[in-house]
Amino acid sequence: MSYETDEEKVEAIKKWWRENGVAVVAGIVIGLGGIIGWRWWGDYRDSVAAEASAIFDQVMVNAAAGQTEALAAQTRRLREDYGTTPYPALAALIEAKALYESGQANEAMVALQQARDAAPDPALAHLAALRLARIQLAEGQLDAAAKTIAGLETTPAFAGEVAAVRGDLAVARGDHAAAREAYQEAIARGTGLSQLIQLKIDNLPPAG
């Protein structure tokens, strides 16, 4: 299945965690020899999930209001107290967007690096890495952006988006032939931005 936007991918990751997070953690508990009673774990899980979800709701409210200081504090709390859930990484994605839009590019990149490194799910880590690469590219950090996306295209769900970033990198470096090839690959591999990518192809200098 492919998703049209980063936001849809975030929702898909949250849905996956709701459906599978119990089984993942249960496997860890069982592997530890059943030290923690299942009923206790169920109550604890529900409590933690509810608390983390409530904090995450506030993250979204503060992001919409541009309250980056409160947003940073809530993201830090999620990271410190609810690190076994996907909420810290999701909050870091939102925090990074708010920071970048407020002109704090360096802080946004730090937030995305933390999200990528701490994400409990590879798909969420890939999403954070893609956003990090796009900011690095926008800030002229071309080598850093190339390093950030290295290896991500081996995951089919992100292959098209990674190819699109490679195309943008090639344009920034003046390699229009490589850009055309990367953009065409992005469309072929199912990027959710195919119309925009086609416009980029049309605006490249003629091959030859």
Cα torsion through 6, 8, 9, 10, rounded to 10: 90
- Could you tell me if 71 and 83 are in contact, meaning their C-beta atoms sit under 8 angstroms apart? no
* Same-domain pairing of 176 and 158: yes
- The answer to whether residue 1 sits within a structural domain is no
Report how far apart, in Å, the C-alpha atoms of 113 and of each of 20, 141, 156 are.
25, 15, 22
Token pair 């199912």 is found at 190
* Same-domain pairing of 84 and 144: yes
Number of C-beta neighbours around residue 29 at 10 A: 15
Express each pLDDT in 105-146 by its tens digit. Answer: 999 999 899 888 877 778 888 888 988 999 999 999 999 999
Q: Judge if pTM exceeds 0.75.
A: no
* Same-domain pairing of 118 and 155: no
* Same-domain pairing of 94 and 169: no
* Same-domain pairing of 196 and 121: no
Interior/surface letters 48-63, b for 16+ CB within 10 angstroms, e for the rest: bbebbeebbebbeebb
Backbone angles phi, psi at 84, to 5 degrees: -85, -5
Express each pLDDT in 70-88 by its tens digit. Answer: 888 988 888 888 877 788 8
Domain total of the chain: 2
Express each pLDDT in 152-188 by its tens digit. Answer: 877 788 888 899 999 999 999 999 999 999 999 999 9
**Residue span of the structural domain in which 105 resides:** 6-148
Using alpha carbons, select from 153, 202, 194 the residue that is nearest to residue 176: 202
* Same-domain pairing of 76 and 101: yes
* Same-domain pairing of 116 and 202: no
Last residue of a domain, one of 148, 163, 198: 148
